């Protein structure tokens, strides 16, 4: 169907919310969200009043003489985003839009969420983080070591123990996000995803765009708050029960190690971690990673830019600063691999590989089988997530 400057459009039901710098537009039919500047919102309001594209363009040129106004181009963008229902009274298609809004955990009462996340609890969580930092300075021996992973002589028991503890801590972290979302009466969805080579569980926080920016901060930091509660508990028990049973101390040490690694991981801004979304929300510069890659592409051609996003006026400085964090994040993660993951893997594989070729030692042989089975499982999950993400990609889109 051909668009012209004399066309009149009918849009699908939209909800427009004022945000940090621009506006968030929600497609009520699909549940998708888009960031648009004020000039686009004015154009949408005029379209709703039944004005032609030519009339709208003339009025916007008077209101924004310094801006480049092309209503036909904007209308084509709306068409690509599937926000236009009819053109000159003619229905574009009869297909029913698929709604991508998460609808899980509605059984969890918002009252429960508000118990954990309210004005008082946020101050308590901030205090817990400060206490953890002070405890590390006073008791530096609480800092983890990669050898904390190996509690037992049996590698199989070490792997199973670590996987179990990690899974429990991940669920606690994600449940923090879910409780925070439910505290505002919004639905949530727990899914599996990846950050580069890391397979991760993730809570769909798409509904957060319905909230004010200050309210979204709580949703993004909720998982970290629960992590810090667990870390304080582990620190306290390690200090109280010094010299206790080695397995008990070993489990607590694994908890500290796991949370420490995850906290460092949160600082890796080149992956979309909780702190990344917090940074985006506080600066009001959404799609920060995509815009940062565009900026770095000028000097590092290997970094592929995303053509679907653009940097709005006034965001250039934040994007440049983020680019620095991006590079630092890469260096930081290389250090994490060098000092934690690589020593662990060297130790594990040096123990496992000889045992794999010696079935006479049953215990060591089955240790090796379990370890390689776990490796295959993780690689399989990673491939599954990569494939799933290729078929469906959602998020905030800038126009």
Report H helices in the chain.
38-48, 53-63, 71-80, 110-116, 119-138, 155-182, 213-240, 246-266, 274-283, 288-297, 316-336, 342-356, 362-391
Alpha carbon dihedral 356, 361, 362, 364, in 10-degree steps, equals -50
pLDDT value of position 15 = 95
DSSP conformational letter for 188? B
The whole-angstrom separation of Cα 344 and Cα 125 is: 32
Contact by Cβ (8 Å): 75, 3: yes
25-39, 44-58, 349-363: lowest mean pLDDT where? 349-363
Confidence of residue 285 (pLDDT cuts 50, 70, 90): confident
The whole-angstrom separation of Cα 21 and Cα 18 is: 8
When pLDDT is averaged across residues 24-49 and rounded to a whole number, the result is: 93
60-64, 156-160, 231-235: lowest mean pLDDT where? 156-160
Q: Tokens in use for 392?
A: 């469906």
The whole-angstrom separation of Cα 231 and Cα 266 is: 15
pLDDT value of position 393 = 45
More confident residue, 211 or 153: 211
pLDDT value of position 349 = 75
More confident residue, 381 or 211: 211
| Burial class (CB within 10 angstroms; exposed 0-12, middle 13-18, buried 19+) of 93 | exposed
35-49, 124-138, 278-292: lowest mean pLDDT where? 278-292
Confidence of residue 390 (pLDDT cuts 50, 70, 90): low
When pLDDT is averaged across residues 87-110 and rounded to a whole number, the result is: 83
Q: CB under 8 Å to 149, separation ≥6 — which residues?
A: 158, 162, 254, 257, 344
The whole-angstrom separation of Cα 335 and Cα 169 is: 23
The whole-angstrom separation of Cα 88 and Cα 392 is: 32
Contact by Cβ (8 Å): 124, 232: no
Which residue, among 216, 228, 306, has the nearest Cα to 263 in the 3D structure? 228
Q: CB under 8 Å to 268, separation ≥6 — which residues?
A: 195, 329, 332, 333
36-40, 46-50, 296-300, 309-313: lowest mean pLDDT where? 309-313
pLDDT value of position 380 = 74
| pLDDT tens for each residue of 319-346 | 888 888 787 777 777 787 788 777 877 8
Contact by Cβ (8 Å): 260, 145: no
When pLDDT is averaged across residues 7-31 and rounded to a whole number, the result is: 92
Confidence of residue 60 (pLDDT cuts 50, 70, 90): very high
| Burial class (CB within 10 angstroms; exposed 0-12, middle 13-18, buried 19+) of 197 | exposed
64-68, 97-101, 306-310, 313-317: lowest mean pLDDT where? 306-310
Q: How many angstroms separate the Cα of 284 from the Cα of each of 74, 160, 173, 256, 334?
A: 23, 42, 25, 33, 29
154-168, 189-203, 350-364: lowest mean pLDDT where? 189-203
Which residue, among 264, 279, 238, has the nearest Cα to 329 in the 3D structure? 264
Domain spans, the chain: 9-91, 110-266+353-398
Q: CB under 8 Å to 242, separation ≥6 — which residues?
A: none
Report H helices in 206-308.
213-240, 246-266, 274-283, 288-297
Would you say residue 113 has pLDDT above 50? yes
Would you say residue 190 has pLDDT above 90? no
DSSP conformational letter for 25? E
Q: Which residues pair with 241 in a beta bridge?
A: none
Confidence of residue 148 (pLDDT cuts 50, 70, 90): confident
| pLDDT tens for each residue of 210-257 | 999 999 999 999 999 999 999 999 999 999 998 888 999 999 999 999
Would you say residue 176 has pLDDT above 80? yes
Q: Which residue has the tokens 């499982």?
A: 377
What angle separates helix 213-240 from helix 274-283, to the nearest 10 degrees? 140
């Amino acid at each position: 169907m051909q668009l012209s400057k004399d066309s009149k459009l009918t849009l699908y039901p939209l909800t427009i919310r004022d945000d940090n710098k621009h506006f968030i537009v929600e497609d009520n039919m699909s549940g998708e969200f888009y960031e648009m500047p004020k000039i686009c919102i004015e154009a949408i309001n005029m379209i709703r009043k039944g004005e032609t594209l030519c009339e709208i363009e003339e009025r916007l040129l008077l209101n924004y003489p310094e801006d480049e106004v092309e209503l036909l181009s904007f209308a084509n963008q709306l068409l690509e985003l599937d926000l236009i229902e009819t053109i000159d009274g003619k229905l574009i298609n009869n297909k029913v839009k698929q709604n991508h809004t998460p609808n899980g955990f509605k059984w969890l009462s918002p009252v429960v969420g508000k118990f954990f996340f309210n004005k008082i609890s946020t101050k308590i969580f901030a205090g817990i983080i400060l206490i953890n930092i002070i405890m590390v300075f006073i008791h530096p021996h609480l800092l983890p070591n990669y050898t904390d992973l190996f509690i037992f002589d049996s590698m199989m028991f070490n792997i199973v123990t670590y996987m179990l503890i990690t899974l429990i801590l991940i669920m606690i972290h994600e449940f923090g996000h879910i409780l925070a979302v439910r505290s505002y009466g919004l639905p949530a969805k727990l899914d599996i995803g990846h950050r580069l080579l890391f397979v991760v569980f993730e809570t769909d926080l798409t509904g957060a765009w319905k909230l004010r920016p200050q309210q979204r901060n709580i949703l993004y930091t909720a998982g970290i708050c629960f992590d810090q509660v667990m870390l304080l508990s582990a620190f306290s028990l390690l200090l109280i029960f010094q010299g206790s049973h080695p397995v008990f101390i070993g489990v607590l040490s694994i908890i500290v190690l796991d949370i420490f690694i995850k906290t460092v991981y949160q600082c890796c801004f080149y992956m979309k971690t909780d702190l990344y979304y917090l940074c985006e929300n506080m600066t009001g510069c959404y799609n920060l990673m995509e815009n940062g890659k565009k900026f770095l592409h000028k000097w590092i051609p290997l970094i592929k830019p995303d053509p679907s996003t653009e940097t709005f006026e006034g965001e250039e400085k934040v994007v440049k600063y983020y680019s620095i964090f991006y590079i630092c994040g890469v260096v930081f993660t290389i250090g994490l691999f060098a000092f934690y993951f690589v020593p662990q893997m060297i130790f594990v594989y040096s123990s496992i590989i000889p045992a794999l070729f010696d079935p006479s030692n049953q215990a060591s042989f089955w240790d090796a089988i379990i370890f390689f089975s776990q490796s295959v499982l993780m690689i399989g999950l990673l491939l599954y997530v990569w494939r799933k993400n290729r078929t469906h990609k959602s998020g905030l889109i800038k126009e």
